[in-house]
Amino acid sequence: MAGNGQEGGRNLLLTLRFDGSAFHGSAVQKNAPTVQGALQQALQQVFGEATDVKCASRTDAGVHARAFCVSFHTKSAIPCERLIEALNAYLPPEAAVYDCREVPPDFHARYSCLGKRYRYRILNSRIRDPFLLSTAFRIPYRLDWEIMDKAARAFLGTHDFSAFCSAGGSVQDRRRTIFLSRVWREGEQILFETGGDGFLYNMVRIITGTLIEIGAGKRMPESIPQALQAGDRSLAGFTAPAAGLCLEQVYYEVPARL
């Protein structure tokens, strides 16, 4: 049942969930626990040798995921259901594989991705909630979520998001198309959800920080189209903490299960 980790054989798509507070991001790092590192170690245990894993995206330390996708080729004949159980036996408790399916040979978790959907959770309360410490950003003062929702619509469509990304990224083309951008309230929690064909480095967190400033009355909603047009990072809001962010879905166009 050993796989060689090389091209050929089956091409498998795994979907994982993880608590980002336990990892220093998704991509492999030296001397730091990461999602990809933990998964590759689990694959090593199951297949008996190294496996070349392709990830749909990179997440920062503290960012969570309900649908983090990776793909890899393997010669192994282990059925998907058994592979899920085997990998989860070796993964740390903060991460789990919950879906495995065979995909076409040319499928690539990153390059076949059509888009992603993220959700950011804000606890809008004077009192902290111990159960949300690692999964929500607490704002103790009142936020006007309705104004935030109206302002969020300015992100819909195709724009240059240079003003809404952090320095350090190597991407040259910063135009992205956003098809979902909304804010709503559930009790003491305010949630921001966005979906698009791609996202720049810290883009969702900067958009969230901008909306928070608008909800707090520290910034006018008109500042969003102004920042988009100018492409100036200083015209957008702060970068919201990683803890409130979760990757909810990765979009692919794949045939029925092989």
Q: Is 160 a catalytic residue?
A: no
CA distance 252 to 229: 30
Q: Are 183 and 148 in contact (CB under 8 A)?
A: yes
- CA dist list (Å): 51 to 3, 71, 121: 8, 10, 34
- CA dist list (Å): 131 to 25, 134, 183: 21, 8, 22
CA distance 35 to 51: 14
- Among candidate residues 19, 60, 144, 197, the one labeled active-site is 60
- CA dist list (Å): 157 to 47, 143, 192: 44, 25, 17
Q: Are 129 and 119 in contact (CB under 8 A)?
A: no
Q: Which of 254, 152, 161, 196 is nearest to 57 (CA)?
A: 196
H-helix or E-strand spanning residue 84: helix 80-90
Query: Which residues are tagged catalytic?
Result: 60
